[in-house]
């Protein structure tokens, strides 16, 4: 079996959940029901369907967009957070689509951050650029991101002038964004790339009188000499140009040169693999999965969709040994949990206070768990995606307790979003195959909530010790049936609700709940 061969058997509910946990921020219960039995090809086609551009965020004080207005120096901190809440709600309300997960991927790849850029309008425009190209053409994406105002500010492209070339972007373009650290480029290549990239500027930065923000090429700031590259790039010479189109012409030549190198496609495919499948890439995976995927990427003229289409339909993706191999990021944990329990952000035009209440809750939880949206700490992205141990960095002495507290808050019903408890455990349990059977209840619940199957010893412990607190199983049957026959009786309702809440609270703190 070749690792990249398509998995053609109709998917079980367990496999659908696996696919949606990795490709999105987790399934809703309705999605699990509706998609079970479909093939990977059918579901992936839905995941790759183009999505309409979302409406911009609104200012809760005015109920009007603010990103198309002059920079507000008084309210900049609030408006910056509103953009992040807006994105969190887009993740929460996503359809069966790869778009939001890929937008987050590219935010960790073509990194800028709000702390450095310091203009919320720039960060909004950057986010819209990420989602515009998230499933598009990589070369076009790289051309566009190079000219993006936020990127020009973040990596000093606006300071890159003939005679005093700034090497920041020319370095990261190669080291992080394209060919990678193992690509063999040299310091001379960095200097030559920087010369190619001279002349780009942004306009409208933190301008309190003008709403327009953009970028442009200034030919007078551009290095018009020929730029020679190393043997890594076949000693390519990019011809120096002058005039209004010089910057874009040379940028296209630079990217065409970098993309011709086989290592560039491999590097991008490795990053996608680590994001969606597993941090570890053994030699067999490199040879039999990454290499053919990279060849497909090159043959498709660097379109992103064919790569993702092959990745998510592959036999390798559905390998049972890889389930649970990824530790949930804060967005996976927070957004995925809320999605499973049916939480949706209301339309801001109908209920703007409820919209931002939910957005604020999402943002606050992912922030405290060290994934500040639109604000990765360094040009390398979030720590968990580049440090040794990869995903393991999401769990540390600070975040482990916060992850547990998040689950506790949901189960106690003390937290209410838009006036309602997040979890209605009784209504949910009624949808299971046989709630009166404690063992079946635990089996159904853990199958839906956990990426990893539990062994019988674990299931028995959850049933007898956590749910039943050592009472005989037949007593649960009596308690549940008593409640089912008199659901308005507070005493009967409380008898089962307390036990179910304890069970769910325990599951939320299990190691198996922290992985996808």
Q: In the structure, what pLDDT confidence band is assigned to residue 387 with cuts at 50, 70 and 90?
A: confident
The two three-digit tokens of residue 119, written as one number: 């203009």
| pLDDT number for residue 425 | 95
Give me the residues paired with residue 238 across strands. Answer: 227
* Residue 399 CB contacts under 8 Å (≥ 6 apart), including other chains: 330, 368, 369, 370
pLDDT in tens, 190-220: 999 999 999 999 999 999 999 999 999 999 9
| pLDDT number for residue 140 | 98
Give me the residues paired with residue 267 across strands. Answer: none
Neighbours of 62 (CB within 10 A): 10
The two three-digit tokens of residue 337, written as one number: 């949990």
| pLDDT number for residue 287 | 98
pLDDT in tens, 302-360: 999 999 999 999 999 999 999 999 999 999 999 999 999 999 999 999 999 999 999 99
* Of 115-119, 290-294, 413-417, 491-495, the least confident: 413-417
> Residue 354: which of 346, 362, 366 has the closest Cα?
346
> Residue 425: which of 352, 346, 359, 498 has the closest Cα?
498
| pLDDT number for residue 312 | 98
Give me the residues paired with residue 416 across strands. Answer: 421
Per the rule left: phi > 0, alpha: psi between -120 and 50, beta: everything else, 324 is left
198 in Cβ contact with 244 (< 8 Å): no
Q: What is the arithmetic mean of pLDDT over 20-36?
A: 95
Q: Is the pTM higher than 0.85?
A: yes
| pLDDT number for residue 379 | 97
Given a cut of 70, whether residue 399 has pLDDT beyond it is yes
CA 392-395-361 angle, to 5 degrees, is 130
pLDDT in tens, 254-290: 999 999 999 999 999 999 999 999 999 999 999 999 9
Given a cut of 90, whether residue 412 has pLDDT beyond it is no
Q: What is the arithmetic mean of pLDDT over 79-86?
A: 98
Given a cut of 90, whether residue 29 has pLDDT beyond it is no
403 in Cβ contact with 369 (< 8 Å): yes
Given a cut of 60, whether residue 63 has pLDDT beyond it is yes
Given a cut of 70, whether residue 1 has pLDDT beyond it is no
| pLDDT number for residue 390 | 82
29 in Cβ contact with 35 (< 8 Å): no
pLDDT in tens, 432-452: 999 999 999 999 999 999 999
Given a cut of 80, whether residue 388 has pLDDT beyond it is no
C-alpha to C-alpha distance for 316 and 336, rounded to whole angstroms: 24
Mean pLDDT of the chain: 97
Q: What is the arithmetic mean of pLDDT over 51-75?
A: 97
How far from 231 is each of 182, 184, 187, 251, 504, CA to CA, in Å? 14, 9, 12, 19, 59
């Amino acid at each position: 079996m070749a690792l990249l061969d398509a998995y053609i058997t109709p998917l079980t509910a367990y496999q659908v959940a696996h696919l949606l946990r990795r490709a999105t921020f987790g399934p809703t219960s309705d999605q699990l029901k509706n998609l079970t039995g479909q093939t990977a090809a059918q579901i992936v086609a839905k995941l790759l369907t183009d999505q309409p551009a979302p409406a911009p965020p609104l200012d809760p004080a005015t109920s009007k967009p603010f990103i198309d207005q002059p920079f507000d120096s008084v309210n900049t901190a609030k408006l910056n957070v509103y953009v992040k809440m807006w994105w969190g709600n887009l993740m929460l309300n996503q359809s069966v689509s790869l778009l939001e997960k890929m937008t987050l991927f590219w935010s960790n790849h073509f990194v800028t951050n709000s702390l450095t850029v310091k203009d919320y309008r720039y960060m909004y425009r950057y986010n819209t650029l990420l989602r515009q190209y998230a499933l598009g053409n990589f070369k076009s994406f790289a051309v566009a991101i190079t000219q993006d105002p936020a990127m020009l500010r973040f990596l000093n492209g606006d300071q890159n002038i003939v005679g005093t070339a700034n090497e920041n972007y020319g370095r990261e373009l190669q080291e992080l964004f394209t060919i990678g650290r193992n690509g063999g480029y040299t310091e001379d290549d960095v200097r030559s790339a920087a010369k190619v990239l001279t002349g780009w500027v942004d306009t409208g930065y933190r301008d309190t009188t003008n709403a327009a923000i953009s970028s442009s090429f200034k030919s007078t700031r551009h290095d018009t000499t020929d730029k020679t590259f190393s043997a890594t790039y076949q000693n390519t010479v990019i011809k120096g140009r002058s005039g209004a189109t010089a910057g874009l012409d040379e940028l296209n030549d630079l990217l065409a040169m970098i993309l011709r190198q086989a290592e560039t496609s491999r590097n991008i495919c490795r990053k996608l693999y680590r994001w969606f499948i597993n941090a570890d890439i053994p030699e067999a995976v490199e040879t039999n999965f990454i290499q053919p995927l990279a060849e497909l990427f090159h043959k498709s003229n660097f379109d992103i969709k064919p790569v993702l289409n092959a990745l998510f339909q592959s036999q390798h993706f559905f390998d049972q040994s890889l389930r649970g191999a990824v530790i949930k990021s804060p967005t996976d944990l927070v957004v995925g949990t809320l999605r499973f329990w049916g939480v949706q952000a209301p339309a801001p035009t109908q209920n703007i206070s409820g919209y931002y209440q939910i957005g604020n809750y999402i943002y606050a939880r992912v922030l405290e768990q060290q994934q500040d949206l639109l604000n990765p700490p360094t040009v390398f992205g979030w720590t968990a995606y580049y440090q040794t141990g990869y995903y393991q960095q999401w769990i540390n002495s600070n975040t482990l307790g916060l992850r547990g507290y998040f689950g506790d808050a949901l189960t106690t019903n003390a937290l209410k979003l838009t006036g309602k408890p997040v979890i209605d455990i009784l209504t949910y349990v009624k949808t299971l195959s046989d709630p009166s059977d404690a063992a079946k209840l635990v089996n159904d619940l853990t199958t839906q909530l956990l990426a990893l199957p539990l062994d019988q010893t674990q299931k028995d412990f959850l049933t007898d010790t956590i749910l039943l607190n050592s009472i005989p199983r037949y007593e649960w049957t009596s308690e549940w049936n008593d409640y089912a026959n008199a659901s308005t009786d507070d005493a009967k309702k409380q008898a089962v609700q307390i036990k179910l809440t304890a069970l769910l609270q325990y599951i939320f703190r299990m190691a198996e709940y922290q992985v996808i």
